Amino acid sequence: MSKKMLVIAPHADDEVLGCAGAIQHYKKEGYEIFVNIVSNRILNHTIDNEHIANTKKCTEEVANLLGIKNVFHSDLNDEQLDNLLIDVIVPIEKVIDDVNPNIVFVPNITDTDQDHRSVANACLVACRSIPSLFSYEIPGPSIDFQPNYYLDIEQYFELKIAAMEKYSDEWRTFPHPRSPEGLKIVAQYRGIQSGLNYAEAYKLIKHTEKSMHK
């Protein structure tokens, strides 16, 4: 039976910012990779269908570049994810049912961004039966992400930058974290914590080991 990894991303680009390295790592471990983009970005507080369609094309290019098998779009509206949690839980549960993953990566529950926090909370409910659950870091102003799990992403770092370049609208200039220099410093800082040159950091929420000795 194939092993499956799912990344749940509040916005298109969070899957790259937090998990581009993990996606490559688990692909090499033989996992099929799936991504759930929960919401569409709202520009200046209004829905712009052309921008949404363009972003979806970028997501497809990222999926091809990173070897993601399938992307599920829940098509919720950005900036409205903290209205009613059940509206976020239900579409994520549907993706969980469709994919039936072994490992799921979810946003950090203490993130300063309210959309990221809502998706993280919804994921904890929707992923209650998932054997292995990690939260990932979306670099930004959040100051209390406390990782306890690191992956060496040195060999994948250039690919992470190349994937982020597909989302050219989301790139900013340093010291914004969504800049090549910003992502490099975050990867090196997480590397300093773990004896690596470049690392992605996560928090292990839950891991279930099944017995092979029945």
Binding site for Zn ion (CB under 5 A): 10-11, 14
Nearer to Zn ion, 26 or 167 (CB): 167
Measured CA to CA in angstroms, residue 65 lies from 68, 89, 164, 184, 205 at distances of 8, 29, 11, 20, 28
- Virtual torsion, Cα 148, 172, 163, 21, nearest 10 deg: -10
How far apart are the C-alpha atoms of 90 and 71, rounded to whole Å?
17
Pick from 39, 48, 112: nearest CA to 80:
39
Residues 6+ apart with CB under 8 A from 195: none
Residue 188 φ/ψ region, left for φ over 0, alpha for ψ in the -120 to 50 degree band, beta for the rest: alpha
* Least Cβ distance, residue 210 to Zn ion (angstroms): 33
* Least Cβ distance, residue 39 to Zn ion (angstroms): 8
* Least Cβ distance, residue 14 to Zn ion (angstroms): 4
Three-point CA angle 162, 15, 38, nearest 5°: 135
Given a contact cutoff of 8 angstroms between Cβ atoms, the answer to whether 140 and 13 are in contact is no
Nearer to Zn ion, 14 or 137 (CB): 14
* Least Cβ distance, residue 110 to Zn ion (angstroms): 14
Output the residue with the shortest Cβ distance to Zn ion: 11
Nearer to Zn ion, 40 or 102 (CB): 40
- Rounded to an integer, what is the distance from CA 94 to the centroid of its chain? 18
* Least Cβ distance, residue 141 to Zn ion (angstroms): 12
Nearer to Zn ion, 29 or 82 (CB): 82
Nearer to Zn ion, 36 or 102 (CB): 36
Peptide bond into 177 cis (omega under 30): no
* Least Cβ distance, residue 154 to Zn ion (angstroms): 25
Nearer to Zn ion, 12 or 102 (CB): 12
